[in-house]
């Protein structure tokens, strides 16, 4: 590029704006502010309460390490505000991290992404922008939405250019800060014009402050968007695959942990994401797969759509199977029994209950007319919201202390793999339960033979139950 061409490239200031202060926007911006002290980072959201929480000592989400990073940078080069218009005016680099829930109405209901918030954001950017902007798509969006964003932005701007980049998020809840600090890879998708590549390089330089250059992957914008959906679909598929194997293990007497270990040692397969469970939850997997399925159907690729849809179906089946196993083990009736749920979050180290399999299991138990007692170190607030009516009617009880929660119960179901559940004194818990006392380990985290020795009837997942020594 000669000097004249360089001169014609837009200049961008070092102010970053993130629209959307949720699980992705908040932690990501905190880490960018931490690593790039010369940038000023502002996170905006329409939700005043959420912004107030980001500005307080009680952050709106729980993530190990998040408090420290936020407190270290807040008020220095990290700000949280509700002034979206002001933010758009003063910042030249804009991350869009608004939520894209699954559509609940009209065409594609239950499958396609609801782009209302996202489109509103694009229009707000257009309305308030007074200088050249780089707009970075951080929300998970259906492939080719970057193009739609470009169309909206280019529709009315006079003398202002917008460069759209795709920078999908791969952080997992519960390990967001370390995923952000040490990512496996960062994807930056862009167009191929000189201006697009210039914008891309600015974002590459931001990440290169702390991410080794070879882990920053630049690619086409549509490949980048599709990679996010495909990565989540592959991960979810592994879980449904091992869960399908777990069902067969229970019938044949094989042990799913042994099988997972055996297949994970194949270096082509690898050991991660092979833990059989009561099913995957969280805000991404189901939503992203359904998005993918919608795309396939849109393009008439129905065989492929069916293939991916089966991953979600197996997940639903696994939750139902867990419930039916409980029912069968407890003499085909749960009515008037008390079942204690150890864990309610969709996985350990998060307070998030979105799509948590615990919700489905709890609802199934309630339908069988049993009482449910829920304990969880971080997710009781979510459980209180989810079951407000049932709590009111006395069908669901919440207890912070697991010993108190299990007191007088007929069964414990381990639903979240919080390490603290390994450390409990199960002898004492057993003493205070109704007999016969059952444990259903939906995460396979406990020492099953020890529990059996204490007298529990133990039902691990994907391995033979331990119930036959005659003790009660
Ligand atoms: C996921 C992706 O990992 C992340 O890259 C993406 O950006 C967002 O979606 P997250 O939903 O936070 O992250 O959690 P993840 O750790 O992937 O777990 C998802 C679900 O799968 C949890 O319910 C978890 O308990 C379950 N799981 C995971 C299993 O049942 N077995 C496993 O072996 C691994």
For residue 422, what pLDDT is reported? 98
Output the ligand 1 site: residues, CB below 6 A: 169-173, 232, 235, 239, 273-275, 277, 280-282, 284-285, 346-347
Tens digits of residue pLDDT in 60-101: 988 999 999 999 999 999 999 999 999 999 999 999 998 877
Neighbours of 268 (CB within 10 A): 5
- Four-way CATH pick for 3-211: 3.40.50.300, 3.30.420.40, 3.40.50.720, 3.40.50.9100: 3.40.50.720
pLDDT in tens, 373-401: 999 999 999 999 999 999 999 999 999 99
Given the structure tokens 């414990």, which residue do they identify?
412
Task: Kindly tell me if the per-residue pLDDT of 458 is higher than 90.
Answer: yes
Return the half-sphere exposure (C-beta side, CA atoms, 13 A cut-off) of residue 17.
27
**Domain limits, the chain:** 3-211, 253-472
* Average pLDDT estimate for 109-125: 84
Q: What is the pLDDT of residue 116?
A: 82
Q: Identify the CA nearest to 189 among candidates 211, 168, 210.
A: 168
What's the rounded mean pLDDT across residues 205-210?
Answer: 98
Largest CA distance in the chain: 87
Ligand 1 midpoint to CA 289 (Å): 13
**For 344-362, what is the mean pLDDT?**
96
C-alpha of residue 213 to centroid of ligand 1, in Å:
26
DSSP reduced 3-state for 186? strand
Tell me the CA–centroid distance for residue 282 and ligand 1, in Å: 7
The reported pLDDT for the residue numbered 470 is 46
Give residue 63's Cα distance to chain centre.
12
**Closest approach atom of ligand 1 to CA 283:** 11
- H-type alpha helices, 380-424: 380-386, 388-392, 402-406
Q: How far apart are CA 119 and CA 329, in angstroms?
A: 50
On the question of pLDDT at 146 being above 80, the answer is no
| Of the candidate ranges 136-140, 202-206, 315-319, 438-442, the one whose mean pLDDT is the lowest | 136-140
The per-residue b/e assignment along 346-362, b for 16 or more CB within 10 angstroms, e otherwise, is bbbbbbbbbbbbbbbbb
Output the pLDDT for position 24.
Answer: 92
Determine which residue's CA is closest to atom 5 belonging to ligand 1.
Answer: 170
Answer whether 131's CB lies under 8 Å from 91's CB: no
Nearest alpha-carbon partner for 357 in 429, 276, 248, 419: 276
Burial class of residue 327 (count of CB atoms within 10 Å of its CB; 0-12, 13-18, 19+): middle
How distant, in Å, are the alpha carbons of 51, 91, 414 from that of 345? Answer: 23, 36, 11
Domain 253-472, CATH: 3.40.50.720
**What tokens were used for 153?**
């932005």
Examine domains 3-211 and 253-472 and report if their fold is the same. Answer: yes
Local confidence band at 469 (pLDDT 50, 70, 90 cut-offs): low
pLDDT of residue 101: 78
pLDDT of residue 5: 52
Provide mean pLDDT across the span 102-129.
Answer: 85
Of the listed 284, 304, 340, 409, which one is catalytic?
284
Burial 281-314 (b: 16+ CB within 10 A, else e): bbbbbbbbbbbbbbbbbeeeeeeebeebbbbbeb
pLDDT in the model for residue 199:
97
Q: Is 249 a catalytic residue?
A: no
Instruction: Mean pLDDT check: name the lowest of 112-116, 240-244, 331-335.
Output: 112-116
pLDDT at residue 6 is higher than 60: no
């Amino acid at each position: 590029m000669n000097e004249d061409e360089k001169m014609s490239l837009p200049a961008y200031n070092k102010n970053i704006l993130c629209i959307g202060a949720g699980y992705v926007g908040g932690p990501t911006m905190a880490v960018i502010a931490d690593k790039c002290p010369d940038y000023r980072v502002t996170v905006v959201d329409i939700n005043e309460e959420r912004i107030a929480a980001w500005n307080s000592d009680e952050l709106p989400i729980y993530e190990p390490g998040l408090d420290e990073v936020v407190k270290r940078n807040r008020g220095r080069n990290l700000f949280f505000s509700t002034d979206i218009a002001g933010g758009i005016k003063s910042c030249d680099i804009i991350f869009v991290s608004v939520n894209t829930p699954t559509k609940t109405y009209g065409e594609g209901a239950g499958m396609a992404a609801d782009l209302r918030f996202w489109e509103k954001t694009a229009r707000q950017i257009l309305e308030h922008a007074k200088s050249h902007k780089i707009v970075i798509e951080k929300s998970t969006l259906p492939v080719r939405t970057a193009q739609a964003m470009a169309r909206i932005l280019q529709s009315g701007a006079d003398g202002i250019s917008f460069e759209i980049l795709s920078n999908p998020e791969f952080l997992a809840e519960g390990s967001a800060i370390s995923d952000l600090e040490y990512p496996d890879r960062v994807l930056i998708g862009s167009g191929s014009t000189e201006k697009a590549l210039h914008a891309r390089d600015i974002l590459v330089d931001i990440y290169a402050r702390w991410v080794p250059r070879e882990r920053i992957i630049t690619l086409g914008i549509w490949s980048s968007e599709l990679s996010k959906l495909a990565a989540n679909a592959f991960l979810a598929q592994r879980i449904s695959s091992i869960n399908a194997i777990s069902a067969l293990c229970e019938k044949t007497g094989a042990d799913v942990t042994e099988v997972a270990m055996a297949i994970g040692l194949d270096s082509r397969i690898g050991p991660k994401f092979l833990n059989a469970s009561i099913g995957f939850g969280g805000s991404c997997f189901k939503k992203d797969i359904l998005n993918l399925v919608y795309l396939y159907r849109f393009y008439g690729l129905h065989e492929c759509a069916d293939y991916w849809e089966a991953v979600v179906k197996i997940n639903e089946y696994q939750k139902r199977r867990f419930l039916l196993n409980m029912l069968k083990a407890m003499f085909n009736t749960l009515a008037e029994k008390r079942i204690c749920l150890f864990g309610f979050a969709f996985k350990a180290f998060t307070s998030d209950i979105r799509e948590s399999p615990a919700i489905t299991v709890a609802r199934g138990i309630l339908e069988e007319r049993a009482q449910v007692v829920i304990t969880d170190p971080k997710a009781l607030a979510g459980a209180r919201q989810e079951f407000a009516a049932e709590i009111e009617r006395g069908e669901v009880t919440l207890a912070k202390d697991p010993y108190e929660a299990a007191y007088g119960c007929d069964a414990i179901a381990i639903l979240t793999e919080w390490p603290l559940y390994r450390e409990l004194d199960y002898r004492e818990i057993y003493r205070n339960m109704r007999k016969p006392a059952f444990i259903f380990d939906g995460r396979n985290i406990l020492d099953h033979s020890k529990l059996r020795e204490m007298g529990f009837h133990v039902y691990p997942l994907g391995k033979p139950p331990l119930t036959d020594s005659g003790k009660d």
